[in-house]
Structure 1
């Protein structure tokens, strides 16, 4: 286990992260009307690495310090831009008037007079100790701008475009019929399936638009997983989300009674962001392995998806950034019958090779935006969904 000093660091980091959640989470009252429903779209939920169209990829346009021109990059070279909208989906922008692009390029440029929001790098920083939390930039030049709810959402733009297939080079999830056979069988047979999610603030849905109560009202990834599986298999899928902001794998060990209470068929275990303040990969692995073992003592047929977390902002000094790959590799050693790995770490690493953290961040430091939550759900549901093309062969 961690040393006392290391344990204190982890607890302090967890407290900071949990305060993020407490500060921005409201309490609904009986008089409040229900939140508007998100419009489910099979196209939005199709894995981004499949097919010739990217749906709603988020970017944040940055103005050049020299010429003032604003630009952003997407993941794949563009064959044709199909739609450019604000993150709320309320405004559709016009090619030529609001944005320019060249076939074969990954870059989109904003001409003078564009209505699309653009920011300067300086606007994404704050003076030291000027925010509720100290988010010191690694270069020592002030702090990373923290978005408590939808501040980054308001600065980002969503791009739908056609591209050539087969361009994604990072690892992607592969459906294995032997990995989670009991859950898949129940889904395919349209039997009721119970899923428990145990994780940190990412798994509570933090910084998804639905979590913050604003358009387009997309829920966080756990509900997206439930909805996608229910739409795909046309059976009842029940979700119990036990996630709490600021928590880590040490806390997960205290939650076994709650995890087994709904008699889940599938348990999604999703930690790492808060552990990364200092917990070793060996301790992270041991805690996760113990969660699996203790649940199986009570529910021998339970199956598990272990989530290797997204990457936090590499410019944030609080994170031990190399821990994410170490944690992913540790989780990979736990794979076996009934235990699968959802590798968001490798996908986020590739994102950050092609783009900037601000393109898909929800809060500037350690949460995904709507696009990122969809990526989470796409990865997880791919482990439970046979590839239709291969099934038809």
Structure 2
């Protein structure tokens, strides 16, 4: 192989090899993924499993983007969620969650269980979430299972859920009894002023998607990534 010193003494027309190498290096640099991670990296798969707070939440795209930037790998979130449903419905949807073979499952099903008109007792809700968690642990042994408490309720939506705190405590207890994770988003919502909170959740139950992203996503990124965030 010709040395760099000798190559420099050659006429321009006799330097094709190094010229092509330089051109190739430039092309590689220009074509490198701008996302900061290799495009063929396996995605981190997440299933968001819940009620309208997930189905209508709108925070999933922001979580994909922020978590991908943090972990330097693609993130794909699928939702298995339906407005108005309870933990009884969730028990019928386990196959859909498992079929996605997720790395992480985010779960919230206390909110409609706690609504008086749904007639799901606290004991039934606790049994249901326990059964859900047991099935997911058995069928997705490598997955992280994270139970969540979402935003506060107000107005009529709050009045029909007078014992919602007890339902959250029951779901939390079932998760912790199994050594599973629990994330409570309510403290971050409660840092807002009453006026800002009312504006962020105008119907008393469903946050505006952009505000939900601002409140929910940083907490989930911190919890999922821990000290591995490289943003």
- Mind listing any 5+ residue stretches in structure 1 that lack a counterpart? 1-189, 207-219
- Indicate the SS of the match to 1:359: helix
Preserved CA contact (<8 Å) 1:284 1:327: yes
- 2:65 paired residue among 227, 252, 259: 227
Preserved CA contact (<8 Å) 1:328 1:343: no
Q: How much does 1:374 deviate?
A: 2.4
1:200 aligns to 2:51 (yes or no): yes
- Indicate the SS of the match to 1:273: helix
Q: Which has the higher helix share?
A: 2
Query: 1:250 and 1:327, CA in 2 relative to 1: closer, same or farther beyond 3 A?
Result: same
Preserved CA contact (<8 Å) 1:273 1:366: no
- 1:319 paired residue among 156, 160, 184: 160
1:382 aligns to 2:208 (yes or no): no
Partners of 1:340 and 1:240 lie apart in 2 by 20
- Indicate the SS of the match to 2:82: coil
- 2:203 paired residue among 364, 369, 378: 364
Preserved CA contact (<8 Å) 2:148 2:182: yes
Q: How much does 1:360 deviate?
A: 1.4
1:271 aligns to 2:112 (yes or no): no
Query: 1:300 and 1:328, CA in 2 relative to 1: closer, same or farther beyond 3 A?
Result: same
Query: 1:381 and 1:331, CA in 2 relative to 1: closer, same or farther beyond 3 A?
Result: farther
- Mind listing any 5+ residue stretches in structure 2 that lack a counterpart? 1-40
Partners of 1:273 and 1:337 lie apart in 2 by 21
Q: How much does 1:254 deviate?
A: 0.4
Partners of 1:308 and 1:319 lie apart in 2 by 17
**Cα deviation per residue 1:122-177 (whole Å; 9 max; x = unaligned)?**
xxxxxxxxxxxxxxxxxxxxxxxxxxxxxxxxxxxxxxxxxxxxxxxxxxxxxxxx
Partners of 1:319 and 1:347 lie apart in 2 by 23
Preserved CA contact (<8 Å) 2:53 2:150: no
Task: Map 1:88-107; keep pairs closer than 5 Å.
Answer: none
Preserved CA contact (<8 Å) 1:200 1:248: yes
Question: TM-score normalized by structure 1?
Answer: 0.43
Query: 1:317 and 1:355, CA in 2 relative to 1: closer, same or farther beyond 3 A?
Result: closer
**Cα deviation per residue 1:218-259 (whole Å; 9 max; x = unaligned)?**
xx1122222211111111212111111111211110001100
**Which residue in 1 is equivalent to 2:36?**
none
- Indicate the SS of the match to 1:194: strand
Partners of 2:160 and 2:136 lie apart in 1 by 30
Preserved CA contact (<8 Å) 1:314 1:321: no
1:300 aligns to 2:141 (yes or no): yes
Q: Which has the higher strand share?
A: 1
**Which residue in 1 is equivalent to 2:122?**
281
- Indicate the SS of the match to 1:195: strand
Q: How much does 1:316 deviate?
A: 4.1
Q: How much does 1:322 deviate?
A: 3.2
1:342 aligns to 2:183 (yes or no): yes
Preserved CA contact (<8 Å) 2:47 2:105: yes
Task: Map 1:71-220; keep pairs closer than 5 Å.
Answer: 191-206=42-57, 220=58
Question: TM-score normalized by structure 2?
Answer: 0.70
Q: How much does 1:359 deviate?
A: 2.5
**Which residue in 2 is equivalent to 1:97?**
none
Partners of 2:228 and 2:212 lie apart in 1 by 24
